[in-house]
Amino acid sequence: MRNSPQVILVSIALAFAGCGGSGGGQGGDGREPGAGNTPPTIAGSPDEQVLEGDYYEFRPRAMDSDGDRLVFTIMGQPGWANFDPATGRLWGTPDVQDTGTFRNIQVSVSDGSSRASLDAFDIRVARAYPGSATLSWNPPTENADGSNLGDLTGYRIYYGKSAGQLDRRIVLDNPGLTRFVVENLPPARWHFAMTSLNSRGIESRRSRTVSKKVA
């Protein structure tokens, strides 16, 4: 595999405007007289799948520009999960009897006057399978133009049940690896390809695809 400067990942910085200041004429809670309540905000992207027997955790990010105390609530809480109303943290370890999809879970936050909610989401508890495939490779040493590759940062493994649709991905942020075991594969013929990544976020072309039948 060789690093190729064809794919460039662009990062976007977001700035949040703050508010503050002091002065006369404010109420006892620091707000201007007659000022209304500012609703809280909540954000976060919960994982929507966990293997039975694995630990799951999600904690939303919430804030209130008025400095009001926030309380979290949840609808559709899975029976195998715990929930903390002080932080919105959802966590737990599903067992084999919990396999299936837990739908329409929604986490909300309130400042006592207004409420904000995340979009409802599902959590699928998937069965853990014993199948695995071992991949090994020689680390790349040069770029596509023949120059020395001195800033290798890791690899990406792409795999799936169709050679033309490798729709699953594993991120390996360790350039020293030369071997990796892909686990929890249900019975099927699985196909694999890899790329390498440099410190500038440039990803190489994919390697040739290899396959293994998992019984």
Tens of pLDDT, residues 78-108:
999 999 999 999 999 999 999 999 999 999 9
Instruction: Tell me the pLDDT band of 29, cut-offs 50, 70 and 90.
Output: low
Tell me the per-residue pLDDT of 146-172, one tens digit each, with 9 for 90 and over.
Answer: 899 999 999 999 999 999 999 999 999
User: Tens of pLDDT along 107-134?
Assistant: 999 999 999 999 999 999 999 899 999 9
As a dihedral over the C-alpha atoms of residue 173, residue 179, residue 182, residue 183, rounded to 10 degrees, the angle is -110
Class of domain 131-214: mainly beta
- 175 residue type, one letter: P
For residue 144, the model assigns a pLDDT of 85
The whole-number pLDDT of residue 92 equals 97
Residue 11 — very low, low, confident or very high, per pLDDT cuts 50/70/90?
very low
Specify which residues 170 forms β-bridges with: 157
User: In the predicted model, is pLDDT for residue 33 greater than 90?
Assistant: no
- Longest CA–CA separation in the chain, Å: 75
Average pLDDT over the chain, rounded to an integer: 86
Q: Which two tokens stand for residue 82?
A: 């715990």
β strands within the chain, DSSP E: 41-43, 49-51, 56-58, 61-63, 71-75, 81-83, 90-92, 100-110, 115-117, 121-126, 131-136, 152-160, 168-172, 179-185, 188-198, 210-214
> Could you state, in order of their start, the residue ranges of all structural domains in the chain?
41-126, 131-214
Return the pLDDT at 25: 45
pLDDT value, residue 36: 84
* Contact between 99 and 125 (Cβ < 8 Å): yes
- What is the model's pLDDT at position 35? 61
| pLDDT over 70, % of the chain | 84
Side-chain half-sphere exposure of 124, counting CA atoms within 13 A: 5
Write the CATH number of the domain with boundaries 41-126: 2.60.40.10
pLDDT at 21 over 80: no
